[in-house]
Amino acid sequence: MSWSLRKRNRIPLMVGPLRGLPWLVRAFTTRKPGAFNLNYSVAKAPRAVTKNRQLLLRALGGRWQLITLKQRHTDIVRVVDEPSQGAGMVKERDGALKLYGDALITNQPGLLLAVQVADCLPILLVDPRKRVVAAVHAGWRGTVKRIAEKTVGEMRARFGCRPRDIRAAIGPGIHRCCYEVGRDVVERFEAQFSYWEKVVRRVKTSVPDVIWQQPAQNRQGLWGMRRHQNPIA
C-alpha cells in the first residue's frame, strides 16, 4: 500500500501503510523548507520548533510523551520501557526526551517515537501480536551496519517478537536519480550483502570514473508513531 497525503488540523501528513492496526498512529511530515522545522539542532528560532512540534502532536490527536534521537548513522538501538527510562536521556525545550542512537523500540502505550531524515530512509517496524513498535533511521551507513536487522534482533531478544510476525513500512527518502556514491561505498555493500547489485546500479558517464546510485525515494521530514491501549475513534 502506498503513502497518501492528508491534512490534519491544516498540517499535511503522509499516511498509508500498516492499516488494520487501530491502536497505532503513524505519520510522516512533508518537506516544506523553512516553514515547519521540527529539529532544534538546525533551528534559527527554537520557539518555532516548539510550536511546530505542538501543532504536530495535536494534529495526530491525543496526549503522549515524545521520544527523539540524536542520530549519528550508528547501529545503536535504544529500548524505552518507561517514559523516563534510558541512560543518557536528556529533555528538550518542548519536554521531549532525547537519546543517542538511530533506532527506538517500545512496548509502552502513550509514547511517540520519532526519527528525522533528509536523504535517509525512515523504517517503521510493528509486531501486532506483542504490540511492540520501532522507528529506525537508516542511511547507507546504518544499512551497511545492519541497523534494521539489529532492531529486529533487539525486538526478539527483549520482547520475544518473532520476525515472521513483524510488519514493516519504509517512508519516503531520496531517489536513486539524485543519490550518487563512490566505489568505496559500493565495496562496503558488496562485502555485506550477497544481493548488493539489487541495491546499487552502475551508471556510465562521460568521465573515466563510474557513478553508482542507491535506490530510494525523495522526501524528508519527521516520522512519528504512537501506540494506544484502545482503538482511535
- Domain boundaries of the chain, sorted by first residue: 4-173+219-227, 178-213
Instruction: Look at residue 222 and tell me whether its pLDDT is greater than 60.
Output: no
Residue 217 has pLDDT above 90, yes or no: no
- Closest C-alpha to 134, from 193, 111, 118, 146: 111
Task: Report the share of the chain in percent with pLDDT over 90.
Answer: 55
Higher pLDDT, 218 or 179: 179
What is the fold of 4-173+219-227?
A: CNF1/YfiH-like putative cysteine hydrolases (3.60.140)
β-pairing, 111-117 vs 221-227, is antiparallel
* DSSP output for 26-60: EEEEPP-TTTS---GGG-S-HHHHHHHHHHHHHHH
> What are the pLDDT digits (tens) for 157-195?
999 999 999 999 998 888 878 888 888 999 999 999 999
pLDDT at 232 over 60: no
pLDDT of residue 137: 98
Residues 82-101: tens digit of each pLDDT: 655 556 789 999 999 999 99
Whether 149 shows a pLDDT value over 70: the answer reads yes
d(CA 24, CA 15): 12
Question: pLDDT at position 161, please?
Answer: 98
> Is residue 33 very low, low, confident or very high in pLDDT (cuts 50, 70, 90)?
low
Residue predicted with more confidence, 2 or 45: 45
Instruction: Report d(CA 107, CA 221) in Å as an integer.
Output: 24
Q: Which residue has the higher pLDDT, 81 or 227?
A: 81
pLDDT attached to residue 85: 58
- In the predicted model, is pLDDT for residue 52 greater than 80? yes
Cβ neighbours for 73, distance < 8 A, ≥ 6 positions apart = 102, 139, 141, 142
What grid cell was written down for 124?
Answer: 517503521
Rounded percentage of the chain residues whose pLDDT exceeds 70? 82
pLDDT at 207 (0 to 100)? 55
Mean pLDDT score of the chain: 84
Amino acid 60 reads L
pTM of the model: 0.85
Is the Cα torsion angle 162, 163, 164, 169 positive or negative in sign?
positive
- Cα–Cα dist 158/222, whole Å: 26
pLDDT, one tens digit per residue, over 105-122 is: 999 999 999 999 988 999
Phi, psi of 193 (to 5 degrees): -125, 130
